[in-house]
Amino acid sequence: MSKDVERVFTEARSAFGKIDILVNNAGVCRFGAIEAVTEDEFHRQFDTNVLGLLLATKTAVAQFGSEGGSVINISSVASRLTSPETSIYSASKASVDAITRVLARELGPRKIRVNSINPGVVDTEGTQTGASSVATSRARWCSTPCLAA
């Protein structure tokens, strides 16, 4: 994974010049009861949602220089709502929130801002395919009825 991250940053620098902002937006999820949890699924979600974010941030920070920069992590309302059948995904997004807070304090003195955005259910390909729909996803995330977006 480290080599892939390095390649992306090399290509971005070639195409756009100096890098001063990173948006960590890659993410995967699969919902299921505790009986469906597997090591492979755990690693798939944590490797993408957490390790990928850490490696991309590490690479970006090395390139920001003394001028600093900005890191924006895309997390999820799932980190706080803890809906049934979301144990791996919710844990991975809670990790993103914790990492964001830690790195904000760690990197702030170096003029690097670290923030996160925690959206709710968004109408995407992921909510249109498979077993999920926007209505099903909203029902999963909301303990009280959600308003249509």
Question: 52 is written with which tokens?
Answer: 């990928």
Q: Are 45 and 89 in contact (CB under 8 A)?
A: yes
Contacts of 131 (CB under 8 A, 6+ apart): none
Q: Are 51 and 1 in contact (CB under 8 A)?
A: yes
89 is catalytic: yes
Separation of alpha carbons 79 and 75, rounded Å = 8
Contacts of 100 (CB under 8 A, 6+ apart): 73, 75, 114, 115, 116
Which one from 50, 61, 89, 116 is the annotated catalytic residue?
A: 89
**3-state SS, residue 27:** coil
Among all residues, which ones are annotated catalytic?
Answer: 89
